[in-house]
Amino acid sequence: MKKHNFYAGPSILPDQALEATAEALKDFDGTGVSLASISHRSKQFDAVIKEAQDLIKELLGVPEGYHVLFLGGGASTQFAMVPFNLMNKKAAYLNTGAWSKKAVKEAKLFGEVVEFKNEDFNAIPKGWEKEVPSDVDYVHITTNNTIYGTEIFEDFDFDVPVIADMSSDIMSRPVDVSKYGIIYGGAQKNLAPSGVTFVIIREDILGKVEREIPTMLNYKTHIEKESLFNTPPVIPIFTLMQTLRWVKENGGVEAMQKRADEKAGMLYDEIDRNKLFKGTVAKEDRSKMNICFVMNEEYQELEKAFMEYATERNMVGIKGHRSVGGFRASNYNALPKESIEALVKAMQDFEKENA
């Protein structure tokens, strides 16, 4: 029986994209050559990477003056590339959890970091944007926290570039790209298998630092070579293109937002109703992508039992991150509503048997 896949990443992808990738691994585009063996400079793969770029621009309404790049190294490499390319002296970072913390650490190698955070990461700091110094080179945010389960739903206005790590909520809702200097993320949540990183970058923010930038870490290198300076991750880019086709065919990011709202609403309603469980995040900041919850204090001894209960019902990936414990149900675009319904039913049945 097919599993209900709640893994946080690598995570569930559309069956359509996986099946197309499986076929292409056997014979890519009728070439008689596997996708894994095709040249990244072949006309067949050139068509793939261009379609993937065009679909991102179309689905997110990317304005003129921006480039879409497909790079290696994950979001973790972007933590260093951003300050390398943009920071002269100072930057502001909204720290909303583990991944933001890693980005802050890298940025401190290049200059002063003005940091805003809640110590327990159970809510987005309020009013922080009014305290950002006027002399920062850029502002960095992480829009969704996969570990703690918070999400930012606002596109902020600043007089300096806004840089956003959107690894785990890209394509789940409309975004005003014009308000960002860079949007980046590892694609292994809503877009592709691990191995490719997307970067949407406004070209006019570059060239304003005096330091020498290593070739591979210079955004201009990848803009000029159209993501082909070195061999790109061919297979993940192909799957990403197929996933974007699926998003478009199913109504675009507006439809993805409606799906996310419905599914997340169902699960959060059950968390709030059920005697055994409670949410861990302020309600106004609850992530639609990564729904985190724990056992209520008087039922904590049942955590392991519920994990086994869910596993017996063909659920995988609901264990919370090792740093926080509890449970986490990742609700990415490709997760069917039936999986949320199955989890809700398991919670209700477990309550009847144990409350």
pLDDT at 282: 97
The domain limits of the chain are: 15-249, 252-354
Report whether pLDDT(24) > 90.
yes
Cα 101-104-106 angle, rounded to 5 deg:
115
Q: How confident is the model at residue 175 (pLDDT cuts 50, 70, 90)?
A: very high
Active site residue 165: yes
Each residue of 231-265: pLDDT tens digit?
999 999 999 999 999 999 999 999 999 999 999 99
Digit-coded pLDDT (tens) for 184-199:
999 999 999 999 999 9
Which pLDDT score is estimated for 323? 85
Residue 26 CA to residue 345 CA, distance in Å, equals 40
Residue 304 pLDDT exceeds 90? yes
Choose among 67, 259, 53, 58: nearest CA to 173. Answer: 259
What pLDDT was estimated at residue 4? 98
Nearest to 11 by CA among 168, 188, 172: 188
Confirm whether 189 is a catalytic residue: yes
Q: Which pLDDT band, with edges at 50, 70 and 90, does 25 fall under? A: very high
pTM for the whole thing? 0.97
Token readout for 149 is: 């389960």
Percent of the chain surpassing pLDDT 90 = 98
Express each pLDDT in 117-149 by its tens digit: 998 999 999 999 999 999 999 999 999 999 999
What CA–CA distance (Å, rounded) separates 84 from 88? 9
Identify the pLDDT of residue 191: 98
Does 1 score more than 80 pLDDT?
no
CA distance 342 to 346: 6
43 included as an active-site residue: no
Give the model's pLDDT for residue 85.
98
Q: What is the pLDDT of residues 72-120, one digit of tens each?
A: 999 999 999 999 999 999 999 999 999 999 999 999 999 999 999 998 9
Considering 128, 137, 189, 263, which one is annotated as catalytic?
A: 189
Percent of the chain with pLDDT over 70: 100
Cα-Cα-Cα-Cα dihedral sign, residues 245, 238, 144, 84: negative
CATH class of 252-354: alpha beta
* Fold for the domain defined by 15-249: Aspartate Aminotransferase; domain 2 (3.40.640)
Task: Using pLDDT thresholds of 50, 70 and 90, give the confidence band for residue 354.
Answer: very high
How much is the pLDDT for 2? 87
pLDDT at 146: 95
Residue 177 backbone phi and psi in degrees, to 5: -60, -30
Closest by Cα among 69, 74, 34 to 52: 69
Look at residue 320 and tell me whether its pLDDT is greater than 90. yes
pLDDT score, position 226: 96
**Mean pLDDT, all residues of the chain:** 97
Of 137, 165, 169, 285, which one is the catalytic site residue?
A: 165
Show the CA angle centred on residue 100, arms to residues 97 and 106, nearest 5°.
140
Sign, CA dihedral 62-66-71-74, equals: negative
Residue with tokens 């949410």: 279
| Angstrom distance (rounded) from CA 175 to CA 220 | 24
